[in-house]
Amino acid sequence: MDPHFLFIVCQRGAETVLKQEVAREHPALRFAYSRPGFVTFKVPDEEPLAEDAELRCVFARTHGLSLGNVQGDTAQRMAASLWQLAGDLRLDHVHVWQRDAAMPGEAGFEPGLTPLAEEVGQIIAAGRPAESARRPLPVNRVARSGQRVLDCVLVEPDQWWIGYHRAAAMPSRWPGGVPKIAWPAEAVSRGYLKMSEALLWSRLPVAPGDRCVEIGSAPGGSCQVLLERGLRVTGIDPAEMDPAVLEHPNFTQVRARPVSLKRREFRAFRWLTVDTNVAPQHTLDTVETIVSNPQVRIRGLLLTLKMPDWELAEAIPEYLQRIRDWGYHYVNARQLAFNRQEICVVALRTRSLRRPPAPRQRTRRTGTPRQRMDHPLEP
Ligand SMILES: C[S@@+](CC[C@H](N)C(=O)[O-])C[C@H]1O[C@@H](n2cnc3c(N)ncnc32)[C@H](O)[C@@H]1O
């Protein structure tokens, strides 16, 4: 087994911006192949990637070392070819998923596991050669940090891309980099999915009773998630909140824009979230005027930065530096699976404010050099 290629899965439409990011952050990787939502790169022999390598790429939803692709006329035959590629790789999990069919939120599409992926996963697990099947391989379960995952991306129903990775940061533990989030009937907007994922990914240490302010809160899906967590939430938005949110005893609306509030009115809040449909520069200007007030002690931020024009993505490193300059030393960004043409930024004043990591499993390291980004919010 000698993986010379890396595959990266991203949002449909984000391939170009992902390629630019890879060229900037990992110049040794050479673009090889792409389909909407799926891109591969050649890894140079002299700079191999470790199987738990992190990428400094906001737009990479998940990635792995490629073993090649299989094609065929039946899933059973393709599964047999897959196991030939996997050889005697010791595995803890298999993750199988389809590349996105559309932009999240478009025509009812949401990323995540499909019936086809589940079915193919079962066929793959059942077709595992007896000699390597010491115990059943879990299919599409969340992996623990340190476990090795066989990846099967259904790039087309009859063309699967096979790879593997060792789970490390949170998204690398989820099948296809997408957390399983139940979307309850009472959720009033997609903001419910975005905020649920943002909290899982960022491990922002919110606790019941904490006070949080959201700028751009209407109609209120994201506030519902915060309220479910027991937070006391203030929503700032000139638009109408959904009555289901307004009626919650721990919710208060300020029906205005933040410019109309005195900065010191933000003194009471521990957390600030922003989800306004304005340009990133405008979002950052608003947040800066709040957090730079000496009476305001907001510990953590979750910001949605809209990218109506993909060219704005070039400025992401500057945006993150600007946030660090406000005194938030731990800053990280990701295009969440449930984001649309936008990214999520988490910022914390101090490392000690992180939520404790999930228990990490002891593993043997491979001989390849580890390439880790400065990933302050992960263990
Ligand atoms: C994407 S929606 C927010 C969705 C919301 N977070 C949810 O989960 O349902 C964007 C909101 O930003 C609000 N908005 C735009 N500019 C604003 C500003 N300067 N201050 C406050 N809200 C603003 C809009 O009225 C709109 O309701």
Q: Where are the domains of the chain?
A: 5-177, 191-348
Closest approach atom of ligand 1 to CA 218: 27
**Beta strand 5-9 pairing with 62-71:** antiparallel
> In the prediction, which pLDDT does 29 show?
97
How close is the Cα of 239 to the center of ligand 1, in Å? 7
- Ligand 1 mutation pick, 188, 277, 305, 336, max ligand atoms within 8 A of CB: 277
- Contact between 307 and 351 under an 8 Å Cβ cutoff? The reply is no
How close is the Cα of 211 to the center of ligand 1, in Å? 19
If you take atom 20 of ligand 1, which residue's CA is the nearest one? 257
Report the b/e string of 219-236 with b at 16+ CB within 10 A: bbbbbbbbbebebbbbbb
Q: Where are the beta strands (DSSP E) in the chain?
A: 5-9, 30-35, 38-42, 62-71, 93-98, 148-156, 159-166, 211-215, 232-236, 251-254, 271-274, 300-306, 330-334, 342-348
CATH of domain 5-177: 3.30.2130.30
> In the prediction, which pLDDT does 136 show?
87
Closest approach atom of ligand 1 to CA 238: 25
User: pTM value?
Assistant: 0.92
If you take atom 18 of ligand 1, which residue's CA is the nearest one? 257
How close is the Cα of 248 to the center of ligand 1, in Å? 19
Closest approach atom of ligand 1 to CA 189: 9
Match 């914390």 to its residue by tokens: 348
> In the prediction, which pLDDT does 2 show?
54
Select from 179, 160, 60, 67 the least CA-distant residue to 120: 160
Select from 63, 58, 72 the least CA-distant residue to 9: 63
- Ligand 1 mutation pick, 199, 237, 338, max ligand atoms within 8 A of CB: 237
* Per CATH, domain 191-348 is 3.40.50.150: yes
- Ligand 1 mutation pick, 193, 255, 275, 338, max ligand atoms within 8 A of CB: 275
Domains 5-177 and 191-348 share a fold: no
Q: Give me the residues of the chain with pLDDT under 50, please.
A: 1, 358-379
> In the prediction, which pLDDT does 263 show?
81
Q: Where are the beta strands (DSSP E) in 84-241?
A: 93-98, 148-156, 159-166, 211-215, 232-236
What value does the mean pLDDT of the chain take? Answer: 91
- Ligand 1 mutation pick, 242, 276, 281, 287, max ligand atoms within 8 A of CB: 276
How close is the Cα of 355 to the center of ligand 1, in Å? 28
* CA 49 centroid distance within chain: 21
> In the prediction, which pLDDT does 352 show?
60
Select from 45, 54, 52 the least CA-distant residue to 26: 54
> In the prediction, which pLDDT does 286 show?
96
Q: How far apart are CA 128 and CA 283, in angstroms?
A: 50
How close is the Cα of 13 to the center of ligand 1, in Å? 24
Beta-carbon count within 10 A of 298 CB? 22
Select from 17, 175, 193 the least CA-distant residue to 105: 193
DSSP readout, 136-154? PPPBSPPPPTT-EEEEEEE
Q: How far apart are CA 222 and CA 192, in angstroms?
A: 5
Tokens of 162: 């096979």
For the chain, the distance separating the N- and C-terminal CA atoms, rounded to the nearest angstrom, is 29
